[in-house]
């Protein structure tokens, strides 16, 4: 097995192990020599794993000895457990898990040949080679073709590429919100408006009858490509468009979010019509909430979208604020998810006072999320991939910048519980727990101090806003957590996943 294959096995096994340990097992003893044994609930199989920030080196008890497992064996074990739990098989998901591991190996090889960007922020966006830490197939690209067809668009391979420029005839333009910045990306002929497109999406859809007809009838025309490159970001379908000097005449950068006919984690990343409508209703509310805050937290507004009539879900482009006008002067943005994987320029690499850093992180992230909920009735999807942390030159967090109006929700007066539980999952389980685990791994002596500090921050915010939900949260023994393996196995709707209870790290001892 070559180096990339060995590394890919480890990177692919960690998220799948996390799923099994969280969703389907119970500890079967105390950790011994850096390993712990778990018993799978449905099948009773015993699984020993190396403890740490990322579980690894799994071994299965055969009845007489511990047998080391590779990724393929772990897939078979997960399938056996899920069949016992649900009474059904899911060959397609098992194949997706295997494809995710193959994708990781391809990404590692491509990454070794690629030149990393100069920007530390962009390096953080492109650092997620393992991906979602609790998903059975975080790097599968179902529907996207073999790796050779999409590596040139992969953020993990440091992809940068020109965008396709289409012209959409004026009688077929669908415009909503402020889309003026799109017209600065190129020059459309008379009677047409500019419509940028992701080249991968055009590759995937050019053969569709509706697309071929649109070009044949002149509703769409090819205008070539941008003379500058867009940069792939962590979400794959969202790209960063630089400001000047790389894009002459443009004073600020921006992000463009496209449809992509590819399943990534739990969903095909096509932007649906109802999602476009949701963003136009919700984004102004979130933008207003952040403008009203007394603090440095910022929101990247999705200020408009453009698409073509009849191809609304095929070629939409959402226009999102860039970083230039939002990040504090002198600070450097960092994708929070990158702290869990590390990257060249990671502020944690030069950290000397982890508790001071954690306190600053909490102060940046927790208050604005709870302020938006309490004062403005907005629940933002503040998971690690939607959270950017701006750090001072010494690496200390000084600002949180949030994004993705698609996941934000305006909370109805009743019932509020579903919105609150989703916020708790994103903020506590996905965001703070993962960052705390990284700090514990790097600085074991800080482990006992991290969560009491977080408790105090939540308590302070609860007192400030009079939120009864905070009091209940601090008293709860468990919090709900998204169960990605089980949800995918039973084909649960991506908006209504299965949840399992996990120990609440914020629980105040009685």
| Region 388-406 average pLDDT | 97
Beta-carbon neighbour count of residue 428 at 10 Å?
Answer: 23
Average pLDDT of the residues of the chain: 96
CA angle 192, 238, 226 (to 5 degrees): 45
The residue with greater pLDDT, 251 or 264, is 264
Tokens representing residue 171 in the block: 């009688």
Lowest mean pLDDT among 120-134, 256-270, 412-426: 412-426
* Mean pLDDT of the 296-313 span: 98
Distances, alpha carbon 347 to alpha carbons 131, 298, 447, 508, in Å: 19, 21, 19, 30
Q: What percent of the chain has pLDDT over 70?
A: 98
The Cα 270–Cα 399 span in angstroms is 31
Please name every residue paired with 196 in a beta bridge, in sequence order, or none if there are none: 165
- Residues in a beta bridge with 347: none
Quote the CA–CA distance of 505 and 510 in Å, as a whole number. Answer: 14
Query: Span 502-509, mean pLDDT?
Result: 91
Residues 6+ away with beta carbon under 8 Å from 253: 240, 241, 242, 243, 322, 323, 324
Other CB atoms within a 10 A radius of the CB of residue 221 amount to: 17
Contacts of 509 (CB under 8 A, 6+ apart): none
Residues present in the chain in total? 510
Residues 482-489 have a mean pLDDT of 96
pLDDT for res 249: 61
- Alpha-carbon gap, residue 382 to 63, rounded angstroms: 44
Q: Which residue segments constitute the domains of the chain, with CATH numbers given?
A: 3-109 (no CATH), 162-321 (no CATH), 332-503 (1.10.510.40)
Integer Cα distance of 429 and 52 in angstroms: 17
pLDDT single digits (tens) 427-446: 999 999 999 999 999 999 99
Range among 229-233, 242-246, 493-497 with highest mean pLDDT value: 229-233
Say whether pLDDT at 245 is over 90. Answer: no
> Which residues have C-beta within 8 Å of that of residue 374, sequence separation ≥ 6?
461, 465, 466, 467
Is 246 a residue whose pLDDT tops 80?
no
Predicted pLDDT of residue 259? 98
DSSP state of 275: H
The pLDDT value given to residue 29 = 87
| 126: pLDDT strictly greater than 70 | yes
Strand ranges inside 54-180, DSSP E: 56-61, 66-68, 160-161, 164-169, 173-177
Tell me the two tokens of residue 291: 């403008």
What's the CA gap between 307 and 195, in Å, rounded? 7
Beta-carbon contacts of 418 under 8 Å, excluding residues fewer than 6 positions away, are none
Helix (H) or strand (E) holding 265: none
Pairing of strands 25-27, 192-197: unpaired
Cβ count within 10 A of residue 477 = 9
Residue 2 has what pLDDT? 85
Q: What digits encode the pLDDT tens for the residues 266-276? A: 999 999 999 99
The pLDDT of residue 348 is 97
> Collapsing DSSP states into helix, strand and coil, what is residue 16?
helix
Pairing of strands 164-169, 238-241: unpaired
pTM: 0.96
Which pLDDT score is estimated for 1? Answer: 65
pLDDT digits (tens, 9 = 90+) for 41-80: 999 999 999 998 899 999 999 999 999 999 999 999 999 9
């Amino acid at each position: 097995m070559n180096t990339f294959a060995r590394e890919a096995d480890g990177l692919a096994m960690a998220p799948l192990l996390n799923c099994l340990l969280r969703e389907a097992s119970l500890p079967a003893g105390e950790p011994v020599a850096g390993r712990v044994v778990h018993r799978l609930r449905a099948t009773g199989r015993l699984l020993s794993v190396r403890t740490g920030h990322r579980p690894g080196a799994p071994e299965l008890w055969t009845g007489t000895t511990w047998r080391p497992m590779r990724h393929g064996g772990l897939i078979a074990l997960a399938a056996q457990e899920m069949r016992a739990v649900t009474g059904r098989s899911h060959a397609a998901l098992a194949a997706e898990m295997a494809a995710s591991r193959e994708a990781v190996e391809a990404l590692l090889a491509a990454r070794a040949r690629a030149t990393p960007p100069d920007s530390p922020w962009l390096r953080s966006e492109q650092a997620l080679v393992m991906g979602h830490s609790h998903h059975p197939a975080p790097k599968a690209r179902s529907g996207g073709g073999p790796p050779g067809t999409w590596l040139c668009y992969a953020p993990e391979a440091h992809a940068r590429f020109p965008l396709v420029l289409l012209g959409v005839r004026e009688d077929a333009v669908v415009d909503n919100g402020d889309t003026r910045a799109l017209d600065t990306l190129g020059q459309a002929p008379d009677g047409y408006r500019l419509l940028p497109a992701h080249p991968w999406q055009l590759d995937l859809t050019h053969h569709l009858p509706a697309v071929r007809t649109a070009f044949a009838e002149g509703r769409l025309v090819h205008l070539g490509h941008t003379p500058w490159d867009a940069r792939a970001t962590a979400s794959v379908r969202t790209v960063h468009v630089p400001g000047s000097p790389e894009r002459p005449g443009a004073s600020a950068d921006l992000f463009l979010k496209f449809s992509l006919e590819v399943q990534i984690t739990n969903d095909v990343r096509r932007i649906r019509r109802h999602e476009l409508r949701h963003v136009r209703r919700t984004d102004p509310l979130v933008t207003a909430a952040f403008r009203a805050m007394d603090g440095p937290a910022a929101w990247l507004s999705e200020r408009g979208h453009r698409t073509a009539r009849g191809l609304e879900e095929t070629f939409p482009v959402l226009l999102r604020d860039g970083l230039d006008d939002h990040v504090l002067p002198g600070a450097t943005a960092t994708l929070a998810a990158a702290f869990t994987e590390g990257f060249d320029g990671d502020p944690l690499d030069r950290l000397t006072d982890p508790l001071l850093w954690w306190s600053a992180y909490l102060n940046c992230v927790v208050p604005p999320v709870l302020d938006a909920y309490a004062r403005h009735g907005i629940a933002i999807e503040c998971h690690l991939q939607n959270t950017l942390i701006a750090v001072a030159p010494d690496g200390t967090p000084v600002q949180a910048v949030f994004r993705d109006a698609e996941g934000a929700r305006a909370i109805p007066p009743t019932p509020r519980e579903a919105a609150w539980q989703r916020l708790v999952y994103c903020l506590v389980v996905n965001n703070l727990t993962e960052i705390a685990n990284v700090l514990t791994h790097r600085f074991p002596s800080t482990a006992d101090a991290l969560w009491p500090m977080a408790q105090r921050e939540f308590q302070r915010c609860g007192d400030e806003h009079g939120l009864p939900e905070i009091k209940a949260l601090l008293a709860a023994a468990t919090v709900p957590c998204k169960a990605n393996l089980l949800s995918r196995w039973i084909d649960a709707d991506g908006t209504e996943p299965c949840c399992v209870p996990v120990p609440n790290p914020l629980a105040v001892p009685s």
